[in-house]
Structure 1
Amino acid sequence: MNSVNKNNVKGRLRDNILLFIVSVTVVLLISEFGVRLLFGDKIVLFNRYHTEAKYGEYTIRKLRPNTEFWHTSVDGSWRFNINNNGFRNDSDFDYKKDDGKVRVITLGDSHTQGFEVRQDKTYAKVIEDYLETVSIDAEVINAGVSGFSTAEALVFLENEGIKYKPDYVVLGFYANDFEDNIKSGLFKIKNDELVEAKKEHIPGVKILNVINEIAPLRWLSENSYLYAFAMNSAWEIGKRLLYSKATSELKTEYAVPVQGVLDSYSTELSLKLIERMHDFTSQNGIKFILLDIPKRPQVHQFSSSIPRELKGQITKLSDFYIDSEDVLGEYRGLVDFHVLHGHLHISEFSHLMLGIEAGRFIKTDVRKYK
C-alpha cells in the first residue's frame, strides 16, 4: 500500500472516530435535555459520598470525611460539608468532651443527614441552636448517613458513637427502616432473641469509592440529570435485589413464605434493635430519644412512621418518644411537611419543629439535675 492510500485510510479512520464522538455527544445531550424535560421535577442531583468504615468487628458505611458537595433539584440547591469525622457538621469532634458541655448524637438516614435541607437547618443543628438560646452549652453530632438502617445506627453507636461520650442519643426512625433492617442482614431473630448475623454491610461502596476518585464523574453526579437518572435507577434496582435476597434467605431459614409473617418479622426485628439501643444507652448513663420521622401520603399531609399499635411499646423503649402527630398535627393542611419534589424528604419546617421538641426534653432533663 502506497503512502497516499495509507493517508486516506488514516484520514477515514480519524473521520469515523470523530463522527462517532460527535454522534455520541449529540445523543447524550439530547438525552440530558429529555430527562430534564420529563423528570426534572422528580430527580435530585445527589452524589452518594459513602465510603467504608471499620467499627470494631464491623464494616459499614459512613460519609467520606473532609468533603464538600451540593445536592440540587427543582426546589433548590443544598451544600453539604462533611467534617473529618465523616459527620455533616462544620466543626470537627474529638472523643474527649469538654467539661460542662452537653453532647448529643443524632442517628438515622438521609432525613437525619438532612437531604434537601440546608446545613444549618437540620434537626440536629436546631437542637444545638435551641439549647444555646436557653443557655445550655451543647454540641450536636449529626451522624446521619443516607440509607442507614436502625441496625447500622446500632452498630455505629455501640462501636464508635459511644467513644464521643454522648449525654443524649436521638434516633430518627423512618418508615423504611422496617425493610432496611432486614436488608442489612446485620442482625436476625433466633429463638425470640436478637443475634448478630454478619459483620459487614457496605452496599455500593466499592463502586462509589472508584467513582468519587474520578473528577469528571463527581462533576456529572452534581450536574447531570441523565447521570443522576441512571445512577438512581441502578441504585433502586440494587436495593430491591438486596431486599429480595434477604427476604428469600429468611423464608428459607424460617419457612415463612407469607408476606404478613415477614411484615411481623420486620416489626419484631426493629423493636428488638430499638430495645437493644435503649438498653445500651441506659447502661452507659445516656438518655435515649426516639424521634418519629413523618412520611408523606399526599401533599400538605403526613402520617407517622410508627404504626399506631406500636406506639405504646416504642414509648417504653425510649426515655422520650417524639410523636410527629403530636408535634406537627395542628399544622396539617397549612404548611409543607416534606419537600414538594425530588425525594420528598422532610422539610425545614419539620426539622425545626422536631428539633425544638427534642431540645425541650434535653433542656428539662439537664436542668433537673443541676
Structure 2
Amino acid sequence: MKFEPVTIKQMARDLNLGISTVSRALHDSHEISEETKKRVVAYARKLNYIPNPIALSLRAKRNRSIGIVISQFNNPFCSQVVHGMESAFYREGYQVSIVQTSESAEKEMKAIQYLSSRVDGLLVSISSETKNTDHLKDLYEKGMPIVFYDRVCRDIQTHMTLSDNYRGAYEATRHLLDQGCTRIGFVGGAATQPIVQERKAGYLSALQDAGATIDERWIHYLPKGGVHYVETEVAMDRLMRLPKSKRPDGLLTCWDKVTADAYRYLRRHEISMPEELALIGFSNFPLTDFVSPSLSVVQQQSEKLGEVAAGQLIALLQSKRKPARFQTEVLMPEIIIRESSMRLVTDSSRLKKKTQNLKTKR
C-alpha cells in the first residue's frame, strides 16, 4: 500500500532551510549550528513529527517485519489471536514483534512509536485507556499500513476484524432471561471502548425485547479494563450489597479477565451459581469446562480473528495503491452454556456442555 508520505521537505519549506540541513539537524550532525538544531527540533516537536516509517523501510528494502500491539500477554484471547496472526505471517515469510499496552494509553503511544520505524505494518487493538487516537492517525497519514482488530478505531479508514459483540451479548442475555432471571446485571470494561458499548447495546436490546426491567444500578464499567482484581471486586460489591429484592439474579460480564474475576468473587464469598446468581461472560479462558460449577461463556473465534486480520494487513502490504474500499470482517461468537447459568434443569444430561452457534445475523 502506498500513501502520500509526509516528509521533512515540508519542514524545510516552513523553516526556509534546505532539506539536507533539516535532516542533519534532526540527526544532531556536528555540521549544523546549535541554534539551527534547536530551531528545527522545536518545530519538529510542535508538529509531533515522526520520521516516515515507510521511507525508512524502503531504504532498508523492507524488513518483512510486522508489529502487533496487544492489551495483555496473559489474556488467553490475546494469545490465541496472536497465534492465528503468527501462523498467517509465517506462511508469507514475515517475522513479528509483539508489544503489550497493559491497557495503558501512554504505553500504547510508546509501543506505536517504538514499532513505527522497525516494521512494515501494524496490527493494533486499542487499549482501554485510549481516548485520543491522534498518534495512530498521524502515523497512518504518514503512510504506515495499519489494520485494527477486536478494539478498533473507526476514525481511521482501513481494514478491521472484530467479533459481533452486539449479537454475543444479546444472545447471552436472552439465555439468562430464558433461565428465569428477571434482574440482570452488566459489568463491562472501560466505557470508552466501542466493544463495551456494543456489548451493552446487545444486553439492553435483549432486556427491552423481553420487556424486562432495566436498572442503572446493575450496570458497571471498569475504567482500567479490569486489569486488577480490585476493580471487579468493587463492582461486584456494589451489586451484591443491594437489597435482596433489588439484587441481580443474573449477570453478564463483558471482558475475559472480568469474567474470571467475577467467578472468583462469587466463589470467595460463597455465593452459589446459578441459584443466587446465574453467571455468563465473554471469555476465551481454557478449562472453563473443568471448574465447579463449570462456566458459561461467550467465546470469540480468536485464532480465526487473528488469521483474518493478518490476511488484511498482508493484502495492504502487497498492494501497490490504496484500496478503493476497506473491509470490516465481523465474526460470530459462540455461546457455550454450562452450569454457572443453567437454573432450569430437568435432565442431568443438560448440565453437560451445550453449545449454541450464533447464526442469526444482526
- TM-score between both structures, scaled by the size of structure 2: 0.36
Q: TM-score of the superposition, structure 1-length normalised?
A: 0.36
Structure with greater proportional helix content = 1
